A and B are shown apart, each in its own frame.
Chain A
Amino acid sequence: MSEKILEVKDLVVQFRTDRGRITAVNGVSFDLYKGKTLGIVGESGSGKSVTALAVMRLIPNPPGEITSGQILYRGQDLLKMPMDGMRKIRGNKIAMIFQEPMTSLNPVFTIGNQIEEVIALHQDDVSSKDRRDKGIELLQMVGIPSPEKRYFEYPHQLSGGMRQRVMIAMSLACKPDILIADEPTTALDVTIQAQILELMKKLQDELGMAIIMITHDLGVVAETCDDVAVMYCGQMVEKSDLRSVFQKPLHPYTNGLLHSIPHYDSTRDKTKGRLPTIEGMVPSLFDLPPGCSFQDRCKNASEDCRGKKGNPTLKALAPGHEVSCFNPMN
Chain B
Amino acid sequence: MTTQTSVENYKSADKSEYILEVKNLVKRFPIKGGILGREVASVKAVNDVTFSIKRGETLGLVGESGCGKTTLGRSILRLIEPTSGQVMFDGVDVTKLGPKEMREMRRRMQLIFQDPYASLNPRMTIGAILNEPLEIHGLFMGKGEREKRLYQLLDYVQLPKDALNKYPHEFSGGQRQRICIARALAVEPDFIVCDEPVSALDVSVQAQVINLLMDLQKELKLTYLFIAHDLKVVEFISNRVAVMYLGNVVEVANSAEIYGHCRHPYTKALFSAIPNPDPTIKKERILLEGDIPSPMNPPPGCHFNPRCWQATEECRKSYPEVSSASATHQYRCSNPIQ
Specify which chain B residues have a CB less than 8 angstroms from the CB of A216 in the assembled complex: 202-203
Among B232, B259, B278, B285, max chain A CB count under 10 A is at B278
Residues of B within 8 A of A277 (CB): 204, 207-208, 211
Complex: chain B residue closest to A264, CB-CB = B232
Whether A266 lies near B288 (C-beta < 8 A) is: no
Instruction: Select one of A160, A192, A222 contacting B278, CB under 8 A.
Output: A222
B205: which A residues are within 8 A, CB to CB? 43, 281
- B79 at interface by CB-CB < 8 Å: no
On chain B, the residues within 8 Å of A258 by CB distance are 277
Q: Kindly list chain B residues whose C-beta atoms are within 8 Å of the C-beta of A1.
A: none
Kindly specify which of B43-51, B85-93, B265-273 makes contact with the partner chain.
B265-273
Instruction: Flag if A44 contacts B231 (CB, 8 Å).
Output: no
A278 beta carbon closer than 8 Å to chain B: yes
A96-129 near B? 1/0 per residue, CB < 8 Å = 0000000000000000000000000000000000
Residues of chain B within 8 A of A270, CB atoms compared: 255-256
- Report which of B174, B229, B236 forms a contact with A275, defined as CB distance below 8 A: B236
Asked whether A44 and B275 contact (CB < 8 A) given A198-B287, A272-B214, the answer is no
A326 beta carbon closer than 8 Å to chain B: no
Q: Is B65 an interface residue (CB 8 A)?
A: yes
* A205 to B134 Cα, complex, angstroms: 60
Stretch from A7-15, A72-80, A240-248 that touches the partner: A240-248
In the bound complex, do residue B277 and residue A190 qualify as a contact, i.e. CB atoms below 8 Å apart?
Answer: no
Q: Which of B65, B236, B256, B280 makes the CB contact (< 8 A) with A243?
A: B280
Contact between B274 and A264 (Cβ–Cβ < 8 Å)? Answer: yes
Within 8 A of B (CB), among A169-196: 189-195
Question: A133 at interface (Cβ–Cβ under 8 A)?
Answer: no
Interface size class of A (residues with CB under 8 A): 35 or more
Of all chain A residues, which has the CB nearest B259? A266
Q: A220 on the interface (CB 8 Å rule)? A: yes
Q: Which residues from chain B contact A246 at a C-beta distance below 8 Å?
A: 277-279
A260 contacts B273, CB within 8 Å?
no
- Whether A190 contacts B235 in the complex (CB less than 8 A), given A222-B279, A266-B259, A275-B210, comes out as no
Q: Is B276 an interface residue (CB 8 A)?
A: yes
Q: Is the CB of B275 within 8 A of A220?
A: yes
Q: Are A194 and B278 in contact (CB under 8 A)?
A: no
A-B contact count (CB 8 A): 124
Considering only CB atoms and an 8 Å cut-off, how many residues of chain B contact the other chain?
45
CB of B75 within 8 A of chain A?
no
Are A223 and B256 touching (Cβ within 8 A)? no
Whether a CB of chain B sits under 8 angstroms from the CB of A263 is yes
Interface contact B291-A192, CB-CB below 8 Å: yes
Q: B233 near A: Cβ within 8 Å? A: yes
For A44, A145, A189, A272, the residue with the greatest tally of chain B CB atoms inside 10 Å of its CB is: A189
B206 at interface, CB cutoff 8 A: yes
CA distance A161 to B66 in the complex (A): 13
- Does chain A have a CB within 8 A of B172? yes
A256 CB to closest chain B CB, in angstroms? 7
CB closest chain-B residue, reference A261 = B277
**A258→B269 CA distance, assembly (Å):** 25
B279 proximity list for chain A (CB < 8 A) = 222-223, 242-243, 246-247
The B interface, classified by DSSP as helix, strand, loop or mixed, is helix
Tell me which of B235, B277, B292 has the highest count of chain A C-beta atoms within 10 A of its own C-beta. B277
B232 close to A43 (CB less than 8 A): no
Inter-chain contact A190/B291, CB cutoff 8 Å: no
- Do the beta carbons of B288 and A195 come within 8 Å of each other? yes
Interface residue? B260 (CB, 8 A):
yes
- Nearest residue (CB) in B for A143 is B289
The answer to whether B64 has its CB under 8 Å from any CB of chain A is: yes
Known: A262-B233, A270-B256, A281-B205. A222 touches B270 (CB 8 A): no
Query: CB distance A190 to B204 under 8 Å?
Result: no
Contact B273 A261 (CB under 8 A): no
A residues near B204, Cβ cutoff 8 Å: 43, 256-257, 260, 277-278
Q: Which residues of A contact B272 (CB under 8 A)?
A: 194
Asked if A191 contacts B214 (CB within 8 A), the reply is: no
Q: At the interface, yes or no: A159 with Cβ under 8 Å from chain B? A: yes
Q: Does A71 contact B (CB under 8 A)?
A: no
Q: Which of A145, A223, A256, A263 has the most CB of B within 10 A?
A: A223
Contact call B274/A190, Cβ cutoff below 8 A:
yes
- Residues from chain A with Cβ under 8 Å of B270 in the complex: 190-191
Q: Does A218 contact B (CB under 8 A)?
A: yes
Are B236 and A262 touching (Cβ within 8 A)?
Answer: yes
A-B contact pairs, 28 of them (CB 8 A): A145-B290, A189-B64, A189-B229, A190-B231, A191-B64, A191-B270, A191-B273, A198-B285, A216-B202, A219-B232, A222-B276, A223-B279, A246-B278, A247-B279, A257-B204, A261-B277, A262-B207, A263-B278, A264-B232, A270-B255, A270-B256, A274-B211, A275-B210, A276-B207, A279-B208, A281-B172, A281-B174, A281-B205
Give 7 A-B pairs besides A192-B291, A277-B211 with Cβ atoms closer than 8 angstroms. Answer: A194-B287, A216-B203, A217-B275, A223-B276, A257-B204, A264-B271, A274-B211
